[in-house]
Amino acid sequence: MRSDIHQSFDGFDFSINPDDGYKITCFDNDPSGIDGRVLDPICRESSGERGARDELLRWHFRQAVLANMRRSGEPSFEMDFPPGSDMMGEILSGPEPGKRMEAELFSRLNELLGNGAKSHVVA
């Protein structure tokens, strides 16, 4: 995923609904023209190394709807930790550590797996 698109995804500006044919829904400006497009089938294979789990996509879609419609979604987490900080300690002592850890792992593993890869979105 391109870094600008990844930032928009993290900010709940758009999301992917696995229960609606993996359709992309934009909640904000759509400079990339992705609203209404469908996620490439290779990204739907949750057992594959490039695929996203449906549970995470569902959670993200729900949070995007809540954040954009009622502004009552779960809090966005800071994703950057300064060098030398106790990232695990901060996560475990903060709010909702299980969900935060899942978000951190998903984001960081997704970056590693998608590093240098083009966005897999089709019309």
The span from the CA of 64 to the CA of 81, in Å, is 24
Position 113 confidence tier, pLDDT thresholds 50, 70, 90: low
Domain-located, residue 81:
no
Domain-located, residue 22:
yes
Looking at every residue in the chain, the average pLDDT score rounds to 75
Q: For residue 67, what are the contacts with CB-CB under 8 A and spacing of at least 6?
A: 12, 27, 73, 76
Q: Give me the residues paired with residue 26 across strands.
A: 14
In this prediction, residue 82 carries a pLDDT of 66
pTM score: 0.54
Domain-located, residue 82:
no
Position 37 confidence tier, pLDDT thresholds 50, 70, 90: very high
In this prediction, residue 94 carries a pLDDT of 79
Provide the domain limits for residue 40: 3-76+87-122
Q: Do 36 and 23 form a contact (C-beta atoms < 8 A)? A: yes
Domain-located, residue 18:
yes
Between residues 109 and 11, the one the model is more confident about: 11
pLDDT(30) > 50: yes
DSSP 20: G
Domain total in the chain: 1
In this prediction, residue 3 carries a pLDDT of 81
Winning range, highest mean pLDDT, from 12-16, 47-51, 90-94, 95-99? 12-16
Position 120 confidence tier, pLDDT thresholds 50, 70, 90: very low
Domain-located, residue 105:
yes
Domain-located, residue 95:
yes
- Specify the length of the chain in residues: 123
